[in-house]
Amino acid sequence: MRTSRQLEPELRVICAPNPSPMTGEGTNSYLLGRNRLVVIDPGPEDASHLDALRAAIGGLPVEAILVTHAHRDHSPLARRLAQATSAPVLAFGDAFAGRSERMARLAEQGLSGGGEGVDTGFAPDRCLGDDELLHLEGDVIRALWTPGHFGNHLCFVWRGAVFSGDHVMGWSSTFVSPPDGDIGAYMRSLDRLEAEAARVLYPGHGAAVRDPAARIAELRSHRLAREAAILRVLADGPRQIGGLVSIIYTDTPVAMHGAAARNVFAHLIDLEARGLVVAEPELGFEARYHLATV
Ligand SMILES: [Zn+2]
């Protein structure tokens, strides 16, 4: 069983035993507080991780279980931890909450995700609004709605630190796969997080980000570079997503090309919405894409 690690006087982390190319060393579950605790992202359905969380909690009361978003590496254990502690599960909404109208329409038309593990049964006890404040034993946590990686994604602001979930991480760029992932929303949520001027980010995976402004700028330019690369390739003629991936992602292991294809698709949906790219016969994962003629 894993043990907790102290990050600050009233903040501990336990990494869940679910390492993978998509989760890094595993999902970070955070415990805040001294006499009364708040848990952020209980993690995957895993009995040993539940044991680890319960051991770290000890006999202390848990005031709330906060969930950044409804991916299966973050949210499923919330229900069992709630049963064990009698604490309510708080999140932006269910797995479909917070989708843009456009993504909701694409999903209705049959666009499905890339199998990245949506916790479709996720149901918080109470939904948190954007900028909602949680008062906890003289302390305040603020929910920050940050869609992009996932429609119902929240970051949590606490004492100048931000728990950034999968929105901004240090070890990896963020996976954006439609219809849960939305590049336009992601870019706006980067601006939103930047405006917080956080002293540190505690992400859903990997180590703390000590220079948030630099990391956010890096992720923004990474996205803009991908977008420019897609437009450059399409300037040479129409392509399908597979063709774009093999030309653009030359520095990425082939095992990650499936994920890369979802990211490219996310960019193409955004470019189509902005009138820069046209999809034939219609917007979809198998479509052919070409530049819009101006
Ligand atoms: Zn995620």
Using the mean position of ligand 1's atoms as its centre, give its distance from the Cα of residue 69 in Å. Answer: 7
pLDDT digits (tens, 9 = 90+) for 79-110: 999 999 999 999 999 999 999 998 999 898 88
DSSP 66-110: E-S--BTTTSTHHHHHHHHH-PPEEES-STTTT--HHHHHHHHTT
What's the 116 CA to ligand 1 centre distance in angstroms? 8
What secondary structure does DSSP assign to the chain, as a single string? ----EEEETTEEEEE-S--BTTTBT-BEEEEE-SSSEEEE---SS-HHHHHHHHHHHTT--EEEEE-S--BTTTSTHHHHHHHHH-PPEEES-STTTT--HHHHHHHHTT----S--B-TT---SEEPPTT-EEEETTEEEEEEE--SSSTT-EEEEETTEEEEETTS-SSSPPP--TTT--HHHHHHHHHHHHHT--SEEEESBSS-BS-HHHHHHHHHHHHHHHHHHHHHHHTTS-B-HHHHHHHH-TTS-GGGHHHHHHHHHHHHHHHHHTTSEEEESSSSTT-EEEEPP-
- Greater confidence (256 vs 29) lies with 29
pLDDT the model gives residue 220: 97
Average pLDDT over residues 218-225: 96
- Write down the pLDDT at residue 2: 85
Distance 24 CA to ligand 1 centre (A): 12
**Position 1 confidence tier, pLDDT thresholds 50, 70, 90:** confident
Fold match, 5-210 / 222-291: no
What is the distance in A from the centroid of ligand 1 to the CA of 153?
A: 9
Measured CA to CA in angstroms, residue 158 lies from 96, 134, 147, 199, 206 at distances of 26, 10, 19, 10, 19
> Residue 116: pLDDT above 90?
no
Mean pLDDT of the 162-172 span: 96
Determine the distance separating the centroid of ligand 1 and the alpha carbon of 217, expressed in angstroms: 21
The model's pLDDT over 234-289, given as tens digits with 9 standing for 90+, comes to 999 999 999 999 999 998 899 889 999 999 999 999 999 999 999 999 999 999 99
Closest Cα partner for 91 from 104, 74, 107?
74
State the average pLDDT over residues 197-206. 98
Asked whether residue 224 carries a pLDDT value surpassing 90, the answer given is yes
Residue 294 has pLDDT above 70, yes or no: no
pLDDT digits (tens, 9 = 90+) for 37-61: 999 999 999 999 999 999 999 999 9
CA of 156 to the centre of ligand 1 (A): 15
The percent of residues in the chain predicted with pLDDT above 70, rounded, is 100
pLDDT (0 to 100) of residue 117: 92
Is residue 7 within 8 A of residue 40, CB to CB? The reply is no
CA–CA gap between residue 23 and residue 277 (Å, rounded):
32
Check pLDDT > 90 for residue 137: no
Residue ranges of domains in the chain:
5-210, 222-291
As given in the structure block, the two tokens for residue 3 are 């043990």
CB 78 within 8 A of CB 44: no
Specify the pLDDT at position 276. Answer: 97
Give 46 Cα–ligand 1 centroid separation in angstroms: 17
Pick the CATH number of 222-291 from 3.30.70.141, 3.40.50.300, 3.30.950.10, 1.10.10.10: 1.10.10.10
CATH number for the domain formed by residue range(s) 5-210: 3.60.15.10
User: 75 CA to middle of ligand 1, Å?
Assistant: 10
When the pLDDT of each residue in the chain is averaged and rounded to a whole number, the result is 95
Measured in angstroms, how far is the CA atom of residue 25 from the centroid of ligand 1?
14
27 CA from centroid of ligand 1 (Å): 10
Please check the confidence at residue 113 and state whether its pLDDT lies above 90. Answer: no
What is the pLDDT averaged over residues 124-137?
94
Strands 161-165 and 200-203: parallel
